[in-house]
Amino acid sequence: MELILDAHILGWYYQAHELEVLTPCTGSPVELFERLGRADIGVLDEGGQIEAEWRKQADSDWFDAWLSERFEVGDIIEVETHTCGALIKELVNKYGFPKAGKDRWYIRTASARAGGKAQLVAIVSEDLDFYEPKAKNGRGNREAILRQATGAVAKRLRKEGIDPRSAARHLVLASA
């Protein structure tokens, strides 16, 4: 399956794999990234927006070598994106998705790959903006939302062939 991986997931992978630090990730970020190239493919936008977000999460020397190797072996690919302005406008106006920020690039990239439901693409993130933005700041059960991948934004994205998933949910679904 093709995955759009949130920058925080990459940061947790770096912390767990390289620094051997425990992370708040719901599932093993190491296991998630070890699946790349075998069962999953990571997808970045050609414009480098997601890569720039990833880069902020790890040591630059490590990141440059790691990403170069991932591209070389084909675990991660870059794709052309489109703005999908109508979808993002709907998410902002109806469901409370942030008006500004880099999260739009995850949706743009996933939308370009889902191609109007030709294939299911996952956004692996533990950011409530991809599920139920109105549940942020303690106004919802974060753990339940991530475990079940519920919320208005998640439901709307699934209609586009984009499946928001926490790391734990992806690992469970992928092993089923």
What pLDDT is recorded for position 138? 77
Q: What is the CATH number of the domain that holds 133?
A: 3.40.50
84-131 pLDDT tens trace? 999 999 999 999 999 988 999 999 999 999 976 667 999 999 999 999
Residue 104 token pair: 């739009």
Range of the domain at 26: 2-175
Residues 6 or more apart in contact with residue 59 via CB below 8 angstroms: 14, 18
- Per-residue pLDDT averaged across 147-157, rounded? 95
Q: Are 156 and 90 in contact (CB under 8 A)?
A: yes
Q: 139 pLDDT band (50/70/90 cuts)?
A: confident
- Per-residue pLDDT averaged across 65-70, rounded? 98
Burial code (b: 16+ CB inside 10 Å, e: under 16) for 37-63 equals eeebbbbbbeeebbbebbbebbeeeeb
1-42 pLDDT tens trace? 999 999 999 999 999 999 999 999 999 999 999 999 999 999
CA 42, CA 76: separation in Å to the nearest integer?
4
Number of neighbours of residue 155 by Cβ within 10 angstroms: 14
pTM attached to this predicted model = 0.95
Dump strand ranges (E) for 70-150: 76-79, 121-124
Residue, of 115 and 170, whose pLDDT is higher: 170
What pLDDT is recorded for position 54? 98
What pLDDT is recorded for position 137? 79
Angle of helix 103-114 relative to helix 85-95, nearest 10 degrees, comes to: 130
Q: Are 160 and 114 in contact (CB under 8 A)?
A: yes
What pLDDT is recorded for position 136? 86
Q: What residue has token string 């109105």?
A: 134
Q: Looking at the 3D structure of the chain, how many domains does it have?
A: 1
